[in-house]
A and B are shown apart, each in its own frame.
Chain A
Amino acid sequence: MGSLGRGALSIAGFLLFWEGIARAGVVPGDHFPAPSLVVITLIDELRRGPLAAAFSITFIRALAGASAATLVALAVALLAAWLPLISRAFDPIAEFLRPLPPAAIVPMAIFFLGLGWKLYAFILIFACFWPVYLNAAQALKATSNVQIETARATGYDTWEIIAYVRLPAALPTIFIGIRLAAAVALIAAVAAEMIAGRDGLGFYLIDAGFTLRVPETFAGLLAAMVAGLLINSLVAALRGVCVGWHDVMMRSAAAS
């Protein structure tokens, strides 16, 4: 049996177990709906609109935020690779800011940025910047000297070496950062929405939860999970296009 089949089987088993517990009434049914009810609610909510809107707002926020943060982080890391002075000036600031949990700055950010897109742009770029920047800066520094010297002897200048040697060599590590950023993006978006309390999956969940609409709460949870899976597979697809060679190389090294 393929790994896909095995995965489907274990998920089916889990859902059956859940359904069984809910039906047997081990936990009060009002607070613990059966998966069948959750799925029915999910479809119903999606059709009526509020959950669909919340889902797409959050998904787009997370995706746009992670993408923008990735581009900004790569730009800074490339500049730092070009001029070590930039990295020396920036890294202490990074050490100072990085430990801040993104959710903790939401209340402050609301003062300055309101409840609109600027708030989310700020929070998401702040949250997703670090994993990409730190991985990229470290990997760009670690390029093999032989590769750089070969390129120099061949006539490539500093920027060409960054573009043709250092960046491609760093991409596998950069994608570790991008994968982290994608996960953090959804967390940060949902947390900010919960605090800002206006729209998105975070608000939907808080709203449904506080008004004790239990099936809706579970449906929102399921929608958040789908958003996470969707973002993960987008990153995986992009990674396959950019650094597929690396996976094949690692696999063939492991096989031999």
Chain B
Amino acid sequence: MTPAMSPILRAEGIAKSLGGAEIIRDLNLDVEAGEFISLVGPSGCGKTTLLTCLAGLRLPDSGRLEFEGRTIDGPPAGMALIFQDYSRSLLPWRRNIDNVIFGMRRLRDLDGRAKRALAAEMLGAVGLTGFETHFPWQVSGGMQQRVAIARALAARPHLLLLDEPLAAVDAQTRADIQDLLLSLARRYKQTCLLVTHDVDEAIYMADRVMVLSQRPTHVVETIRIELPTPRDQIVSRADPAFLKMRERVLTQIRSMRAAA
């Protein structure tokens, strides 16, 4: 059996309630190794809740959740998570490079020196060479986002979970970081699961887009994105196929709204 045949992440019929409110109901999804998945859904539908379940920070009330063939019963090794609120997730008393080293908790066989070298390499990969010894609060929001990305990638996770990482940055920075993420994903053959409510971003980034319903949320449709790679901000977005898929996703979301 080749590894590609069993998904790296699988959710089967999971449900989750928070404080008496039903957030997730009967949600199924599969992620293959090496894939870039986008999850789009209306705001407040439970995207963050779903990611915290996938990351093992919360346990689902029912259903099965497996990562690399093992049931998720706590934060698993091999996964990294970038929060929506990335700038508050950085530790202000640590310099950028030490924030990246903070992400290497599970790299036990590396000594301090090797970690520092790897952290400098990761900061270089996100274009932050020269900002290693700055504190996070000394650099711009877009740069803080890059530090958070470098920290998440530093542990060389098999699966990277991203919770609306670009919601708070300006349009130009957003396009830059989208392309940065895509090139990093290709370079490290990184499996990614990106949560967003921006339909264009979801399509532009992904191999497959999964559309989430309103609360209680579940996957209503999965769309394979047949756009040539590597993607290009101008060419890909003008591709007739892009426009067609955009129409399909938006129609799906609109019909859900009408039904709600």
Contact = CB atoms under 8 A, between A and B. Distances in A.
Interface of A: 144, 146-147, 149-156, 160, 164-165, 168-169, 171, 243, 245-246, 248-249, 252-253
A153 B56 contact: yes
A150 B106 contact: no
Contacts, number: 59
A161 to B, nearest CB: 11
Q: Helix, strand, loop or mixed for chain B's interface?
A: loop
A153 B75 contact: yes
B80 interface: yes
Contacts of B89: 146-147, 149-150
A154 B83 CA distance: 12
B39 interface: no
Interface in B63-88: 75, 77, 79-81, 83, 85, 88
Given A165-B91, A246-B92, 6 more contacts: A146-B83, A149-B89, A150-B83, A169-B91, A252-B138, A253-B137
A135 to B, nearest CB: 17
Given A243-B93, A245-B93, A252-B137, A146 B88 contact: yes
Contacts of A169: 91, 93
24 contacts: A146-B85, A146-B88, A146-B89, A149-B81, A150-B83, A153-B56, A153-B81, A154-B80, A154-B102, A154-B105, A155-B77, A155-B105, A155-B106, A156-B105, A160-B105, A165-B91, A168-B91, A168-B93, A169-B91, A243-B93, A245-B93, A246-B92, A248-B135, A253-B137
A244 to B, nearest CB: 9
Contacts of A246: 92-93
A245 B135 contact: yes
Interface residues of B, number: 24
Contact of A155 (B75, B85, B88, B93): B75
B75 to A, nearest CB: 5
B18 to A, nearest CB: 14
Please indicate which of the listed interface residues A169, A249, A253 has the most CB atoms of chain B within 10 Å of its own CB.
A249
B93 A164 contact: no
A153 B85 CA distance: 15
B33 to A, nearest CB: 20
B103 interface: yes
Contact of A147 (B81, B91, B106, B137): B91
A249 B135 CA distance: 9
A33 B106 CA distance: 69
A152 B75 CA distance: 7
Contacts of A152: 57, 75
Q: Which 5 pairs from chain A and chain B are nearest by CB?
A: A155-B105, A153-B81, A150-B89, A146-B89, A155-B106
Contacts of B59: none
B15 interface: no
B153 interface: no
